[in-house]
Chains A and B, each alone.
Chain A
Amino acid sequence: MNRFAELLDRLAYEPSRNNKLRLMTDYFRRTEDPERGYALAAMTGALSFAHAKPAIIRGLIAERTDPVLFDMSYDYVGDLSETVALLWPAPNQDRRNAPPPTLSEVILALQETQKRELPALLASWLDQLDETGRWALLKLITGSLRIGVSARLAKTALAALGDLPPNEIEEVWHGLAPPYIDLFAWVEGREPRPVATDPAPFRTPMLAHALDEADFEKLDPADFTAEWKWDGIRVQAVAGLNAEGVRTTRLYSRTGEDVSGSFPDLIDVLADERFGEIALDGELLILRDKLVEPFSVLQQRLNRKTVSAKLVAEYPAHIRAYDLLSENGEDLRALSFLERRERLASFVQRFAHPRLDLSELVDFSTWDDLAAARGDPASAGAGADAEAIEGVMLKRRDSIYVPGRPKGLWFKWKRDPFNIDAVLMYAQRGHGKRSSFYSDYTFGVWRGEELVPVGKAYFGFTDEELKELDRYVRNHTRNRFGPVRELDFSREQGLVLEVAFEGLNRSTRHKSGVAMRFPRVSRIRWDKPARDADVLDSLEALLNCRSATKAQP
């Protein structure tokens, strides 16, 4: 437990993704089975302990500390697990000398222990651990590690142990259980790949390259089909039968995360026996009155632990299918795109479910045709759904389904971003590598004589530009509010940033009433006077007529 606790402690402070990976890979390398497997389970959220509730922890500490001192301490520290970890009184000699529990012991005991025995067990562990160990134990059992490590990142660290691509881990992951002895053995090259016993496994998706417009010279339009690129989330919907003939259904995200829990309405669709044993690739969208809602509406359904019936009714989820990977035990990935699409079309037609449809092809014969469709999807067949389109996808007619991002087969051609010129208003320091730089910028546009903040951007510039921006911030500070610097801005004075963004939503959280999607600094306009920056009305106009209007760069 102590080594695991030290790992969590270090991860909690380490801002860099790469360094987090190194810390985890190093831990996996130095730690034996089954300890490391349980650590992996803890970091991927594969564990839950029904009986361990904060009330038990509160009860234990109340028996051991003065309530006034506890309140003062909790007030200062602000986190229950951490307060208890720090406050826990030093135990008597016998207990202090007992060896601390291993992570495996803790996890196995937690799974077997009855609710009424839990407090005493927990207290004996807390006596045996040091501050960091106690903190890690309490975080583990209350189920919120908050160390900035996603399941994906932990699996990537495991993959690095054996120089494997992370998706290889995902493909076997869902059939395995903690402490993953056979998984580690395979990653370390000691045993063959674990047999995927999962009846509904994840398959590594095929990804597209961003299209460089110079590529058109080398590409023949006759080799390609085009589809709309929908602004939803990419999912894999899989159903299969296990050895006993019981139906298993799963909805995976693009990275192999099982998101079934967030979309019970789609799982109902997959559970329909007519769906058969299928693995399909598509876009998850919210459809209301047969119209595709923009991403901001879909967001209401994302990252939720529990989903209410009201939410499901209000934001019904839908799959727009664009590929078929497997049908009734037959792997289709070696077929050409056109052959797969034919199979997909016939499946969708047979199934005839209102929550599943086929991604339509966009008609074109020259690249100019396609450019026109991309520029105005509404007139090119997308109609009122045009707002939920973020570009077009090009797929070679003869492309087999290659996991990963193969060259030359699939391309995404996104619509041009919107641009505005805004005035830099506030700056804040970044994190990690950028902690000495003012790298988070709040910018605003004019509303009459006043600037109103409309967004925040913290990338889009080069390292050289960051240095220049940092220097500008330091030399033009008007006020400081804690970590935030307010800059000198007025009609006469101020720095204009050209900000690119993908979309605009109404927002009640921002003073300006609008919120930008994916804003970034596209250019620093050292030359442009602040008074010539954009006005809020032009953003308002975008809101009302998004798909038709493009701000001029």
Chain B
Amino acid sequence: MDAIILQILNGLDKGSAYALIALGLTLIFGTLGVVNFAHGALFMIGAFCTVILNKLLSLEMVTKSATETTPWGTPVEVHTPYVVMWFGKVGETMIDYSVFWSILFAIPVMLIIGIAMERGLIKFFYKRPHADQILVTFGLAIVLQEIIKQIFGANPIPQPAPDAFVGSIDIGALIGLGANTVVYPIWRLVYFLFAAVIIAGVFAFLRFTTFGMVVRAGMADRETVGLLGINIDRRFTAMFGLAAVVTGLAGVMYTPILSPNYHMGMDFLVLCFVVVVVGGMGSLAGAVAAGFLLGVLQSFASMPEVKEFLFGFSIDQVIIYLVAVVILLTRPRGLMGRKGIMET
């Protein structure tokens, strides 16, 4: 029992990332009808927003200590970040909580990148064949990835979680399964809650605001909405920006779990495509559900018992693809897919 709960919890954080990225993909896909192969790059850029802000906050001044000396007799160098110099204790907390500050930092950055991407490139591809859309975003993904590689190098850059969230909590004791049976890192719990809030926010935005209503109408019948005198293109551009923000934030908060590196975007993107296909293309709820489902499934597949059962082959790397095959053979439109979406 406790092992099962632990695996479900383990799957949730990865599932949250899948769900957020797949949600962004589906938002773009549902509104603009474009499959964005550069979406993984947005996730990666979000993660690197954290790296940039952390670097900026910890810019430091190096002074020579007046009293202490190193064993070689030279004065000890004291590194003081500027924010600590200026704000004292508050500055230290700022550095400690840089991941949260990065959220504020990433929102405008991702919004700008998303809108620039749509207006600058993808706009010109609505009338072109799907293959061209796929290929041009694929090229863009390579370029963005390589730019990040040029700037930050090929090695992962570890990002610490805030001190208050380092460590684990004993969920087993909380729900009465006995101490130390289900121990779970706090940050992953935070990530899950964060993802839940974002997903709920996006759904609420689409459901309860006039803007969201117009967008949903546009998704159903773009032409009619345009005929009613609504500038649907502008709203779809905004949705692209929103999708970029959602994906970027998924990347920002994921940094303490996985050290950002330049190819993390594509690694996640391929899985998220599978998630979208399993969930049913164009279905927001399907994307989120399939994201969590496959995340949990993946974590179950990495259990030692499963590995033993399969004669020592660890299938956690491929389980998602196998499930996708089974789903496609039995339900070709995915779990919640509707008829007529992208079937040409």
Please indicate whether A and B come from the same complex rather than being unrelated chains.
Answer: no
Binding site for A on B (CB under 8 A): none
Binding site for B on A (CB under 8 A): none
